[in-house]
Every structure is written in C-alpha cells, then in structure tokens.
Amino acid sequence: MRYRGAQGKRRCRLLPLPAVLTCVVVFLLATSAAPAAVSPEAEAFVQSMARYFAGLDSFSFSAQVKGVHRHEEEDAAAISDYTFSWQNPNRLRMEMELPGEHLHMVTDGERLLMCVESLKVCTLQEQPDDLGMLVGWLTQEPSFRRLFSRDLAAGWMQNLTGAALQDDRVNGTACVRVDLTFARSEVMLWVRSREAPLPMRLFADTSKGANHPKGTVTTEIQWSGWKCNEKAGEGTFAVAMPEGFRKVSAFRELSNRDAPSDPNSHALVGTQAPPFAMGLLDGGSLDMAEHRGKNVVVLDYWATWCRPCRSALRTTEELAEKYAGRNVVFAAVNLMETPGQIRAYSDKHELKLPVALDPEGTHAELYGIEAVPTTIIIGLEGTVQTFQEGHDRWTMKTLSDTLDRILEGNEPVEEQLAFSAADRLRHRLALDPEAYCAVFVRY
C-alpha cells in the first residue's frame, strides 16, 4: 500500500481534476498462506508483466468489482462495473457504472472529458500527464491505476513484505497466481499465463488497514473481454459532450441543491476514532489513549510538497494559539516523508506545531484520508467530530465552531449515514482542486 503525491507548477495536486474510496470467498484466505518474503521468481514475473503491457499498442477489457464489509448483523456489499479502452501513448476511455451513478471519461491525447450522468453535467479540461493516477483516483482501485501507470512493476512491488508465484486454476482454466503481502493487506492476483499475463481475477483483504478483523473488508475483481492490439472502433476516443448534458468549468460550481452531500460529512464522523500512537519529530509520541476523556485532539494531515497544506498549517497554528490552555491538543501529521525533509520544511516555514510521523501512511489509512490537507477533530469521548478535506476561507470558522461546541459540552455522538460509492465519487469530483492535493492508498 502506498500514498502518492506530486507537486504541480502552480498548485500541488496529483490530478488536474475539478474534483478532490474491497471477495467474498472467505475460504480463499484460509487456504492461501501469506508468503514470507519476496521471491525472485515473483519479482521477475511482475517485471515481465510490466514489459508485456508496455509493448501493447492498445488493449481493452471489462471488469466487475465487488466490495464487501462484513458486520455481525449483516454484510454490506457494493458492486461496480467498468469498461476500459486504451491506445498508446495516451488515449483512454472509461465507463464507470456505480449503483445510482454513471461516469463517462475519455481522453484524446490532449483533452479530458468527464460526464456525470445523474447531474447531466460535463467538464472539459487539459489531459493530465499520468492517466494511471487519474484512473486510480476516480475508481479507488490500485489494480486499475497500475495497468495505466508509467511503471506497472513499481506499483505492485513498492512496500511489499512478501510475494510468491504458483500455478493455479480459475473456473477450471489453468493460470498463474501471484500472492502479494503488504504491511496492512493481502492480495491474490490470477493472470492468464506467463506469456500473456492478463489479469483474470483479484482478491484483496484490506481488513487490517481498515482496523477490522481479518476477512471482514475485502475486494474481488473479475476481468473479462480482454482484447489486445485490436483497432478501436470509430469514435472510441472522441471528446464529445453527450446530448442533454450541460458544460460546467468545474464540478464545484454545482449548487448545493445539486451537490450529493456536505463536503465535510464523512462516514467516520460520529464513530469512535481508530486508536493510534505516532512518534513525534522532536521525540516522544502522540497516543490517542492518553487523551481520551481529557483533551480534544486535532490532527492536521499534510505533506511538504502540498501547497494548500501551507495555508492549512497556518490555520491550525492560529487555532492552537486561540485554544491554548483549553484542553485541546494539536498535531501536524506528516505523510510518508523523512525527518530530514520535514525539518527542512519546518525550519524554512517556522512551523510551530508538533509534528507526528506517519512514515508508511498506515495511520492515515485508518482514517480514510484521500487528500491533504485533511483536518480531523476528535472529541473528549473519542468520537470523530469533524472531517475537513482541503482548505478554504471557511476552514477556520468550521473548525472553531466545532471546537467551541465540544468545549461547551455539546459533543454529538450520532453516526453519519454511510455514503454510497456514488456519493463518494461525486464528493471527490466536487472538491476544489485549488484546496487539496490528492493522495491514494489501498493495496
């Protein structure tokens, strides 16, 4: 698993989006022992996959993703369907079908068109350089991101703790299976053959990363209809707005009536904050258990490469001064950077906040961080009170109002309604790209 980020020339972001998140067969987990180390054979095979896809002029496929979250009462499952068409070097079409939503996306090598069916709106903008990151951000599926990334092998091999290769069968068909173990997830990937390593199926157990028991949060992907080096149909990559749609310069321009949900709403709000203990840059640690019942905790997730994070950090510093001596603890949680990088930034910008370290992104994953800056306020009783993505002119007031309410003894405990995959997609699309930097993590 890995968070990724990049620095833009004018603003810090991974994707130039007008927008700023996992199957079923439990016995698979029991019958597949996690590999203890990265075998040379498995590493060589992943490298050969990368060479195979790099050598294709074009390919297309369909895929169905089934995510399951198992609860004691009942299981929650979500199914989404995708079709992709790719032509080297940089033309891509994606149809994304979620319950209650359809996203049409197409690039012609220069322009990017995205159309949201439920709202009947489209945006047209300059095509991003990294289409893999664009696909990964929209779908929240690392396997799709890697297929369209500049370096497929690096995507699969980074942060591995184990990998093994073996012959297997899927639905009676001989294939090759790659078992991959990351720090907080386990993945099994079946591909057609060593000669034509086209993905057939993937099973990922991401329960540990979500702070849940093993086998309770899983993803299964089924690929079908692979076509390689076949000429795409006429109009496949045409950038043309569908009839009945209206063009907007950015999805954030939609009125509140059109917006799917409050940007500050998050399924974590109202729930008990996942436990954590993080080391501090200047020594010591930040342990949530030590503050429960005593202090409100404010976590500002950031990175040195993220331009909007600078404004967010200044706001958090102002809040720390305003609420000094009032049982509120503040920390700037840095994502996946070295102490040297952080100290250089801190010295240059005179950062006053204590810096907590999340070198592998594991703590951020517990909280479902999709973008930085993200500010989370945890109440005295340990419940998440605010989940603020991005930074804008209302951030100070939003956070101040929440802190005032908690300190006055008004700490709500009601959980938010669980947002659907369609809600989350529209939410990402509606966030202001000037206010955030995209990050990405799963397996």
Is the CB of residue 18 less than 8 Å from the CB of residue 119? no
Tell me the C-alpha distance between 303 and 308, whole Å: 10
The predicted pLDDT at position 210 comes to 63
pTM of structure: 0.74
pLDDT by residue (tens digit) across 158-207? 778 899 999 999 989 999 999 999 877 899 999 999 999 999 999 999 88
Distance CA(176)–CA(143), nearest Å, equals 16
- Map out the domains of the chain as residue ranges: 27-253, 277-418
pLDDT tens, residue by residue, 211-225: 678 898 899 999 999
Do the strands 328-335 and 355-358 form a parallel or antiparallel pair, or are they unpaired? Answer: parallel
Residue 31 is predicted with a pLDDT of: 32
Look up the CATH number of domain 27-253: 2.50.20.10
Residue 48 pLDDT:
94
**Is it true that 27-253 and 277-418 share their CATH fold?**
no
Per-residue pLDDT of the chain (443 residues; tens, 9 = 90+): 333 333 332 233 333 332 222 222 222 232 333 445 899 999 999 999 999 999 999 999 999 999 988 877 677 888 999 999 999 999 999 999 999 999 999 999 999 999 999 999 999 999 988 898 889 888 989 899 999 987 888 878 877 889 999 999 998 999 999 999 987 789 999 999 999 999 999 999 988 766 678 898 899 999 999 999 998 888 999 999 999 999 998 876 654 433 333 434 566 777 888 888 999 999 999 999 999 999 999 999 999 999 899 999 999 999 999 999 999 999 999 998 999 999 999 999 999 999 999 998 888 878 888 789 999 999 998 999 988 888 877 889 989 999 999 999 887 644 444 557 787 787 778 766 666 566 655 67
CB 295 within 8 A of CB 405: no
Give the pLDDT confidence score for residue 71 in this predicted structure: 75
DSSP 343-406: HHHHHHHT--S-EEEETTSHHHHHTT--EESEEEEE-TTSBEEEEEES--TTHHHHHHHHHHHH
Q: Does residue 371 contact residue 354 with C-beta atoms inside 8 Å?
A: no
Give per-residue burial for 95-131: e unless 16+ CB within 10 Å, then b. ebbbeebebbbbbbeeebbbbbbebebbbbeebbebb
Residue 226: is it exposed, middle or buried by C-beta count within 10 angstroms (0-12/13-18/19+)? middle
Q: Measured between alpha carbons, how far is 299 from 377 in angstroms, rounded to an integer?
A: 6
277-418: which CATH topology?
Answer: Glutaredoxin (3.40.30)
